[in-house]
Chains A and B, each alone.
Chain A
Amino acid sequence: MSTIKTTIEAKAHVYGNHIDTDRIIPGKYTKTLDLSTLANHVLEDLDPNFNKIVQSGDILVAGINFGCGSSREQAPLALKQSGISVVIAEDFARIFFRNAINIGLPVLEIGKHDIQKGAKLSIDLKQGIVNDITANKSYKATKLPDIMIDILSEGGLVNYLNKNGNYTL
């Protein structure tokens, strides 16, 4: 049962390099199981307006080392809760990357890009293609390891293990 849409067309919110997990969701808000509260504070120390302007299905775009810092899964969860459908970055910090896949938030690593704020993007997750419709430019994402594709296509690690009981390569 896949819960991930494989083609996405939406607007980009663009931020810079090294956005750490404290900026994605400050530590003081992480201690909760009520995940809907996370969305109220997502990115608040970076852009206090974000949670007002983000719309369901929007795309988050960043520079290098997105999600560095803590292992808190609340970071990708907060983004997912806020309606973000996919995160695109030049590259990611490794724990954030794993966490995002595990909770079923697609992430694409596309290297250097010049996607501008507000750009309209269309994304083919299966092929790993990001089309910047506004700038008429296209990017190819780094291929995910097979196990990550399997986890993502089940909608996350919980569903994957529910189905398989264990990891398989």
Chain B
Amino acid sequence: MGQTISEKIISNHVGHKVYAGELVISDVDGAMASDTTGPLTIKAFKEMGGKKVFNPDKCALIIDHAAPSPNERIANLHKMMRDFAKEQGMRLFEIGEGICHQVMVENQYVKPGDIFIGADSHTPTYGALNAFACGVGSTDLAAVMMTGKIWLKVPQTIKIHCSGKLQDGVTAKDLILFLVGKVTVSGATYQAIEFCGEAFEGLSLASRMTIANMSSEMGAKTGIVHPAGLKLDYDFEAITPDADAKYIKTFDFDVSDLEPQVSAPESPDNVHNISNYEDTKINYAFIGTCCNGRLEDLDIAAKILKGKKIHPDVRMVIAPASQSVLLDAMSNGSMQTLIEAGASLITSGCGPCVGTHQGVPADGEVVISAANRNFRGRMGNPNSNIYLGAPATVAASALEGKITNPKKYLI
């Protein structure tokens, strides 16, 4: 019987063929926690009798969600993470090194065919690499760090096939917002997603990460992009599904006419064509996050803002996904362009995404953000409204002071 990508990857790890619905205990290839989940992970690890992590080279802690620390309480939690990493001989990614998901990919903690478990809900991002990656909470992760294993139910898989090429000025973010709108925020709960078809084949690794990242916004356990067209700097063995693999559901879309998409408050699946929102005034524009804080995102924003100034009633915040993205954006000039246009650069990391520190919106304010979530209160103030769009949309909107279709600046 044919297998999906998830069934194949899990089978390779447990040593025999498994199919959707089976309960397995599998070895994992890597594990990480951030400063939201890490301290509780460490506490649980000790309480469950953990002495040594299963493999210090495969485990990492990342200080990204509130970095640098905004107060003494969080400073002490960060210290606890540093101390634990040192004691265990595992790597701790310091403030400013970047967002957990970005640094895990850049530093090759995860590779095609791996099973990776992260204590963060956007861990499916690594599906861009043709890996099986799921998010868990702190106690689950503590158990992974202690045992090197996880219990899993092999998920059923939804196949999302998109034919056609995206138009110029329409990007991976628009495509995934469109798909989240169609599948809905709970449409893939407990299930894996496979993304395939022409629309994905030409995408860069960064764009594939944007796609896989938002599988979480459909409730999925993991979201894997088919490897066709995937280019990495190292050799890898791609995992493809069998022709007779069983899918629980298949979606088929022709996306060649897709317009830029916007997700309106207060759910990521409240998605419509940008034309529905084009006169919405904005106060605040944000580019960053594990969804869209990579070099190509800063480059497209810089292309739109080159030689111009953002609207006087708008403030703009940029949080690069990692230090390496920041350095690249400095050397190719994009960062200079963005700052000259009036943007404010903050530490590489999660920045304002999760409302813990930095850039909380005021009451009644409207934010256009390149992030992945717009739940009420997400950015720290339940009385503000968050719209999600592609980095190009955020940049064009910052320029005009209202939600703006970026296509005219790009073609």
Residues of B within 8 A of A64 (CB): 186
Question: Could you tell me the distance in whole angstroms from the C-beta of B125 to the nearest C-beta in chain A?
Answer: 13
Decide if the interface of chain A is mainly helix, strand, loop or mixed: loop
Q: Contact: B23 with A147, CB < 8 Å? A: yes
A58 on interface, CB distance cutoff 8 Å: no
Interface-located stretch among A3-11, A87-95, A112-120, A130-138: A87-95
Interface-located stretch among A22-30, A78-86, A121-129: A22-30
Known: A65-B186, A167-B151. A27 touches B135 (CB 8 A): no
A167 to B24, CA, bound (A): 10
Q: Contact: A98 with B36, CB < 8 Å? A: no
A153 on interface, CB distance cutoff 8 Å: no
Residues of A within 8 A of B137 (CB): 71-73, 95, 98-99, 102
B120 on interface, CB distance cutoff 8 Å: yes
Residues of B within 8 A of A18 (CB): 185-186, 267
Which of B49, B139, B151, B356: most chain A Cβ within 10 A? Answer: B139
Number of A interface residues at 8 Å Cβ cutoff, please give it.
42
Number of B interface residues at 8 Å Cβ cutoff, please give it.
53
Q: Contact: A22 with B136, CB < 8 Å? A: no
Residues of A within 8 A of B354 (CB): 27, 70
B377 on interface, CB distance cutoff 8 Å: yes
B47 on interface, CB distance cutoff 8 Å: yes
Residues of A within 8 A of B373 (CB): 22, 69
Within 8 A of A (CB), among B8-46: 23-25, 35-37, 39-40, 43-44
Q: Contact: A28 with B380, CB < 8 Å? A: yes
- Interface contact tally, CB-CB below 8 A: 143
Q: Contact: A158 with B36, CB < 8 Å? A: no
Question: Could you tell me the distance in whole angstroms from the C-beta of A70 to the nearest C-beta in chain B?
Answer: 5
B273 on interface, CB distance cutoff 8 Å: no
Q: Contact: B377 with A167, CB < 8 Å? A: no
A19 to B357, CA, bound (A): 23
Q: Contact: A157 with B356, CB < 8 Å? A: no
Known: A69-B375, A162-B47. A167 touches B149 (CB 8 A): yes
Please name the residue on chain A nearest to B47 by beta carbon: A158
Within 8 A of A (CB), among B112-147: 119-121, 123, 135-140, 142-143, 146-147
Q: Contact: B49 with A30, CB < 8 Å? A: no
B48 on interface, CB distance cutoff 8 Å: yes
B189 on interface, CB distance cutoff 8 Å: yes
A95 to B117, CA, bound (A): 12
Q: Contact: B377 with A65, CB < 8 Å? A: no
Known: A27-B355, A33-B40, A157-B143. A22 touches B186 (CB 8 A): no
Q: Contact: B73 with A161, CB < 8 Å? A: no
Q: Contact: A73 with B139, CB < 8 Å? A: yes
Q: Contact: B143 with A161, CB < 8 Å? A: yes
Q: Contact: B74 with A31, CB < 8 Å? A: yes
Q: Which of B36, B65, B77, B377 contacts A33 (CB 8 A)?
A: B77
Q: Contact: A45 with B139, CB < 8 Å? A: no
A70 to B66, CA, bound (A): 15
Residues of B within 8 A of A68 (CB): 185-186, 219
B376 on interface, CB distance cutoff 8 Å: yes
A103 on interface, CB distance cutoff 8 Å: yes
Question: Could you tell me the distance in whole angstroms from the C-beta of A95 to the nearest C-beta in chain B?
Answer: 6
Residues of A within 8 A of B267 (CB): 18
Residues of A within 8 A of B25 (CB): 167, 169
Q: Contact: B376 with A22, CB < 8 Å? A: yes
Which of A27, A91, A102, A156: most chain B Cβ within 10 A? Answer: A27
Q: Name A's B-contacting residues (CB within 8 A).
A: 18, 20, 22-23, 26-28, 30-33, 45, 64-65, 68-74, 91-95, 98-99, 102-103, 145-147, 156-158, 161-162, 165-167, 169
- A99-B139, A158-B139, A167-B149 are known contacts; what are 9 more A-B pairs with Cβ within 8 Å? A23-B377, A26-B355, A28-B357, A31-B77, A33-B43, A69-B373, A103-B139, A157-B48, A161-B147
